């Protein structure tokens, strides 16, 4: 049993005091876990576009001061009452969505959208008592999507913690907590391209490249990358992308360009931008009769998806996905094993590393488009 079990832990955390302002390394107090909660020691974390979006408070109700972060790997420090699947010392990935294993969604083989622990960006506190486990000199600090991994220690609901192979390097598999699993699963679990098929990937950021990685693993023969930034094309080759299309280079809709390239359309498409126009193009560029388009990106709340009904009547299929259709506790351990078996390559997603004391550099890299993922080492 840990010597800190049941005690308040004082540690360093990167606190966002205001929207869009640099994070400040502060000493915070982290309370012990309550019933069905786990306190984790975070060893490595990473920055995701979701963190940046809510840090900037774009179109959102500001909730500050706050501790962001949700892509991470760590070990269990202590567990609360009722937690039986985890024990101190276990290697884990905290995840922004959860799996209670009791609701209809969790019991369904077709869904991963837990009724109890589905992502909630507005909550900022723990479910057990509606209070935060973080404080600074008595002032509560808000949580973020139930994980708050920009802290040396954090408290998470047990349903949002996936126990993984202790031999897996946490500085690599921490990426599977969010974006990489989302893109990978969108292809492997939802689009399900057959060996030798053609796949179009809209958006070549980290999530889109993970979708391309999924197409590569599935054995697709043509992987067409679509992006407005031609500078991303060379990097995308590392992820199996075989051809590139920049919509700005044509005076016709990109779906028509792709249809001409592929004799009627691709077998599968995966949209990873959040642009409503890209979503429509991704749907309309798949082949009639069997084409499947999968939407991953999150559109603006005022967007509307418009396409001619003939696209549906001609047996094109439109699907959406959340976290790549992975159930966090049940499925993530097997995704980690894909990496351990050298089937999945994670190193090529890592373009930068910084010590925790320089976490704001990770934001600079993300905002400038200078890289894919920046690993933040919590012990430095």
374 classed as catalytic? no
337 classed as catalytic? no
287 classed as catalytic? no
39, 77, 91, 114: which is the annotated catalytic residue? 114
178 classed as catalytic? yes
99, 100, 152, 232: which is the annotated catalytic residue? 100
118 classed as catalytic? yes
50 classed as catalytic? yes
Token pair of 29, please? 């107090």
103 classed as catalytic? yes
| The residue to which tokens 């992987």 are assigned | 223
10 classed as catalytic? no
97 classed as catalytic? no
50, 97, 154, 321: which is the annotated catalytic residue? 50
Longest dimension (CA), the chain: 66
Q: Is 212:241 a contact under the CB 8 Å cutoff?
A: yes
26, 29, 39, 48: which is the annotated catalytic residue? 48
29, 37, 39, 70: which is the annotated catalytic residue? 70
Torsions phi, psi for 177 (to 5 deg): -70, -15
45, 77, 97, 178: which is the annotated catalytic residue? 178
Per-residue b or e along 161-197, where b marks 16 or more CB atoms closer than 10 Å to that residue's CB? bbbbeeebebbbbbbbbbbbbbbbbbbbbbbebeeeb
4, 56, 118, 222: which is the annotated catalytic residue? 118
Which residues, at least 6 apart from 200, have a Cβ–Cβ distance to it below 8 Å? 224, 226, 258, 266, 268, 269, 270, 282, 285, 286
105, 154, 373, 374: which is the annotated catalytic residue? 373
Closest listed residue to residue 179, CA positions, set 197, 148, 203, 151: 203
373 classed as catalytic? yes
Q: Is 207:230 a contact under the CB 8 Å cutoff?
A: no
- List residues with catalytic annotation: 48-50, 70-71, 100, 103, 106, 114, 118, 178, 373
């Amino acid at each position: 049993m840990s010597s800190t079990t049941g005690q308040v832990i004082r540690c360093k955390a990167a606190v966002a005091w205001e929207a869009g302002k640099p994070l400040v390394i502060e000493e915070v107090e982290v309370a012990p876990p309550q019933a069905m909660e786990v306190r984790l020691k975070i060893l490595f974390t990473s920055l995701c576009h979701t963190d940046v979006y809510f840090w900037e408070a774009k179109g959102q109700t500001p909730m500050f001061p706050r501790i962001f972060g949700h892509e991470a790997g760590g070990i269990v420090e202590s567990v609360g009452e009722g937690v039986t699947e985890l024990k101190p010392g276990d290697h884990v990935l905290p995840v922004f969505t959860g799996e209670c294993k009791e609701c209809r969604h969790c019991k369904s083989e077709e869904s991963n959208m837990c009724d109890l622990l589905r992502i909630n960006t507005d909550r900022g506190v723990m479910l057990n008592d509606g209070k935060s486990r973080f404080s600074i000199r008595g002032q509560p600090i808000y949580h973020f999507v139930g994980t708050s991994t920009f802290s040396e220690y954090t408290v998470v609901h047990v349903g949002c913690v996936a126990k993984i192979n202790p031999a897996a390097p946490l500085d690599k598999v921490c990426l599977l907590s969010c974006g990489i699993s989302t893109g990978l699963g969108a292809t492997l679990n939802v689009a399900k391209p057959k060996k030798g098929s053609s796949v179009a990937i809209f958006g070549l950021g980290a999530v889109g490249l993970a979708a391309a990685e999924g197409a590569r693993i599935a054995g697709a023969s043509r992987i067409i990358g679509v992006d407005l930034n031609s500078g991303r094309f060379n990097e995308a080759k590392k992820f199996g992308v075989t051809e590139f299309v920049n919509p700005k280079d044509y005076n016709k809709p990109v779906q028509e360009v792709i249809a001409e390239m592929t004799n009627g359309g691709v077998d599968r498409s995966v949209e990873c931008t959040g642009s409503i126009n890209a979503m429509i193009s991704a749907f309309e560029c798949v082949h009639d009769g069997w084409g499947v388009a999968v939407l991953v990106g999150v559109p603006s709340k005022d967007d509307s998806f418009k396409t001619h009904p003939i696209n549906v009547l001609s047996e094109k299929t439109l699907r959406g996905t959340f976290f790549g259709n992975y159930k966090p506790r049940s499925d993530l351990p097997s995704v980690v094993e894909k990496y351990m078996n050298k089937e999945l390559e994670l190193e090529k997603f890592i373009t930068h590393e910084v010590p925790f004391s320089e976490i704001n550099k990770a934001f600079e890299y993300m905002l400038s488009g200078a890289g894919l993922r920046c690993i933040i080492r919590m012990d430095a």
